[in-house]
Amino acid sequence: MSFQEPWNKVQNRLFQMHISYEERENELKDLYAELKREDDEIRGLFAKRVARSIQQKKDTAPTLIPRFPQ
């Protein structure tokens, strides 16, 4: 058994670990992007709901009749 055989095994294992790390990193990036999209969607829906609520309050607010001193 030459020195080269274990060295090749080590190199192969390191290469596999590197590939595995890159795959995990890409998966995490994809998950983060998906969460970011969902977060943006939820924020948009919340903003629309708040705007609709404010508009409803404006529409149902009693109209004030100005009183002038007599």
For the chain, 70 residues long, give each residue's pLDDT as a single digit of tens: 577 888 888 888 888 888 888 899 999 999 999 999 999 999 999 999 999 999 988 888 777 777 776 6
Q: How many domains does the chain have?
A: 1
- Using CA atoms in the order 20, 24, 30, 34, what is the torsion angle rounded to 10 degrees? 150
Q: Residue 47 and residue 35: Cα distance in Å, rounded?
A: 18
Structure tokens at 24: 């995990």
In-domain check, residue 66:
no
Q: Which domain holds residue 47?
A: 1-56
In-domain check, residue 18:
yes
In-domain check, residue 44:
yes
Q: What is the pLDDT of residue 10?
A: 87
In-domain check, residue 45:
yes
Q: Residue 31 and residue 7: Cα distance in Å, rounded?
A: 36
pTM: 0.56
